[in-house]
DNA sequence: AAGTCGCC
DNA sequence: ATGG
């Protein structure tokens, strides 16, 4: 198959995905770029209180992505399962409070995508190093799927995988760069998604990492 | 179960 | 290298 034909078919698939599989998902290119130094400073505050760690999946595997949380609730995984917890299992203390710059950014992005009054109570902070990946999954540990998901990309670029509502739906590849924000909710709230293994690189602000902030209403 | 592997 |  020629590259042109491949690109044409990929475009067709993207259109089908937008219109049929995941309506309501939005990519806001560069939306967070202007705030990146403030976000970076706030991030240091959060990770100083609750360090990145590699959680264990119920299957007993170590996740390649390191994560921590801020906000009233944090997403945790161990051999017993996935859940939201108000305390950090590493320290027994509450998660760091959600920085104002995080909350405002999430609310502004949600509103831009048509979701007014987004009140996230959980912010997952994912750190990808080269080789780290996230296989296809749904965000479904939240109590109420009425609220959207807001996902902020910082640092090294990554290829995001956007699937449909069924695991068998072949994902579309979406390149995400520093400052890009994705919002999905409504009919696309439970779409499968993942991230391909991160490539090596250097970013002026984030160095050799990709940081992803994911805002959710957990309760 | 948000993982990894071997095989094709 | 990629994907089932």
Q: What is the CATH number of the domain that holds A26?
A: 2.60.120.590
Q: What is the percentage of chain A residues whose pLDDT exceeds 90?
A: 83
Q: What is the mean pLDDT of residues A17-40?
A: 85
A60 closest-nt by C1' vs CA: B3
Q: What is the mean pLDDT of residues A172-180?
A: 94
- Residue A5 in this model has a pLDDT that exceeds 50: yes
pLDDT (0 to 100) of residue A20:
61
pTM value surpassing 0.85: yes
- Residue A1 in this model has a pLDDT that exceeds 50: no
Adjacent-strand bridge partners of A203? A207
* A62 C-beta less than 7 Å away from strand B: yes
Pairing outcome for strands A172-176 and A158-162: antiparallel
Q: What is the mean pLDDT of residues A110-119?
A: 96
Question: Distance (Å) from CA A66 to C1' B3?
Answer: 14
Full residue range of the structural domain in which residue A148 is found = 3-216
* A81 C-beta less than 7 Å away from strand B: yes
pLDDT (0 to 100) of residue A2:
53
Which bases along strand B come within 7 Å of a protein CB atom?
A: 1-4
pLDDT (0 to 100) of residue A44:
98
Q: What is the percentage of chain A residues whose pLDDT exceeds 70?
A: 89
Strands (E), chain A: 26-28, 66-70, 74-78, 81-85, 122-128, 134-137, 149-155, 158-162, 172-176, 181-184, 193-195, 210-216
Q: What is the mean pLDDT of residues A60-82?
A: 96
Q: What is the mean pLDDT of residues A178-207?
A: 95
Which of A91-105, A158-172, A185-199 has the highest mean predicted lDDT (pLDDT)?
Answer: A91-105
Question: Distance (Å) from CA A17 to C1' B8?
Answer: 29
Q: What is the mean pLDDT of residues A160-164?
A: 91
Domains held by chain A: number: 1
- Residue A179 in this model has a pLDDT that exceeds 80: yes
> Rounded to whole angstroms, how far apart are CA atoms A126 and A214?
8
pLDDT (0 to 100) of residue A213:
98
pLDDT (0 to 100) of residue A29:
96
Q: What is the mean pLDDT of residues A167-195?
A: 93
* A141 C-beta less than 7 Å away from strand B: yes
> Rounded to whole angstroms, how far apart are CA atoms A94 and A105?
22
Residues placed in the known binding site of A: 137, 139, 193
Q: What is the mean pLDDT of residues A165-169?
A: 87
pLDDT (0 to 100) of residue A205:
98
């Amino acid at each position: 198959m020629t590259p042109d034909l491949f690109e044409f078919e990929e475009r067709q698939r993207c259109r089908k995905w937008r219109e049929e599989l995941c309506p309501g998902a939005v990519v806001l290119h560069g939306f967070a770029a202007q705030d990146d130094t403030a976000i970076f400073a706030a991030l240091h505050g959060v990770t100083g209180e609750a360090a990145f760690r590699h959680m264990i999946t119920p299957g007993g595997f170590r996740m390649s992505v390191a994560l921590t949380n801020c906000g009233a609730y944090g997403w945790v995984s161990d051999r017993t399962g996935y859940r939201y917890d108000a305390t950090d299992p590493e320290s027994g203390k509450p998660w760091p409070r959600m920085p104002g710059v995080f909350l405002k950014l999430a609310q502004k992005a949600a509103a831009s995508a048509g979701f007014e009054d987004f009140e996230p109570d959980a912010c997952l902070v994912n750190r990808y190093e080269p080789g780290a990946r996230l296989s296809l999954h749904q965000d479904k540990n939240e109590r109420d799927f009425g609220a959207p998901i807001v996902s902020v990309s910082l640092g090294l670029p990554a290829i995001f995988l956007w699937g449909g509502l069924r695991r068998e739906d072949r994902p579309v590849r979406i390149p995400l760069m520093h400052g890009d924000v994705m919002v999905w909710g409504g009919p696309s709230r439970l779409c499968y998604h993942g991230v391909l293994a991160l490539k090596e690189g250097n970013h002026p602000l984030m160095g050799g990492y990709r940081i992803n902030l994911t805002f959710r209403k957990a309760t």
